[in-house]
Amino acid sequence: MPVDRLVIAIDGPSGSGKSTTARAVARRLGLSYLDTGAMYRAVAVAFLDAGVRPDDTAAVIAATSGAVIELSLDPDESWVRVNGRDVTEQIREPRTAQNVSAVSTIPECRADLVRRQRALMDADPRGCVAEGRDITTVVYPDADVRVLLTASPEARLRRRAGDMAGKLTEEQLRDQVLRRDRDDSKLVEFQTAAEGVHLLDTSDMTPAEVVDAITSLAEEAHP
């Protein structure tokens, strides 16, 4: 890989602002952008549409290993295909969010998708900004910049409510934000910054301030 590549890994719980931040940082620095959560959601759509129960671990593993996942790495575009079918809208539906932990909490599924994520991050010679839950620790622990975004539960719920524009009930909102974090934390530690990872509490920061902070870290690491 070229020595001047820049790789930025951003982790955080739901509603911490990592997707908005990562996309904006990639756009500013001219890098590719990888939403790893979209890959888990795409598999969830695939197994649900195939009639697979979320508690059928073997079938979920088979659906993951057999899934052909394509997604945009352009921060100015957003599309996801699984097995040749566009699922860009479906991956954001409440049904998908409620069942995506069936993929993310199975070690075999995570290992499969981690391998693919690393390959996608290596695909652009300029570098990549990737966001998820285990990018700083598992997918790309050797990234030039590693950041863990956090925010208070109140701030995270408020942001997700704004993102969904009234599409979720209060119960669905709490399930999507807090329950998913609780489920995923059984397998991946994304609440505490690992050694060498910058911790950034975004509760009282504007999106622009968060982007500026990470861009500054990138400039320090890659002058």
Q: Consult the annotation and say whether 162 binds a ligand.
A: no
Question: Is position 196 annotated in a ligand binding site?
Answer: no
Cα pseudo-dihedral 106, 90, 30, 32, rounded to 10: 40
Q: What is the pLDDT of residue 187?
A: 64
Q: What is the reported pLDDT for 215?
A: 97
166 labelled ligand-binding: no
Question: Is 19 annotated as a binding-site member?
Answer: yes
pLDDT of residue 23: 97
Asked whether residue 12 is marked as a ligand-binding residue, the answer is yes
Distance, CA of 84 to CA of 143 (rounded, Å): 31
Rounded CA-CA distance 149/211 in Å is 11
Domains of the chain: 6-221 (3.40.50.300)
Short-list 7, 11, 5, 31, CA closest to 135: 11
On the CB side of 16, how many CA atoms lie within 13 Å of its CA?
22
Which helix (H) or strand (E) segment holds residue 80: the answer is: strand 80-82
Would you say 13 is a known binding-site residue? yes
Residue 136 labelled as part of a binding site: no
Q: Which of 42, 55, 54 is nearest to 113 (CA)?
A: 42
Q: Hey, CA dihedral for 41, 70, 142, 196, is it positive or negative?
A: negative
Dist CA 60 CA 63 (whole Å): 5
15 is in an annotated binding site: yes
Torsional sign, CA 185, 165, 200, 219: positive
pLDDT tens track of the chain, all 223 residues?
A: 445 799 999 999 877 889 999 999 999 999 999 999 999 999 999 999 899 999 999 999 999 999 999 999 999 999 999 999 999 999 988 899 889 999 999 999 999 999 999 999 999 999 999 999 999 999 999 999 999 999 888 888 777 666 665 666 667 777 666 666 776 666 676 677 889 999 999 998 999 999 999 999 999 998 7
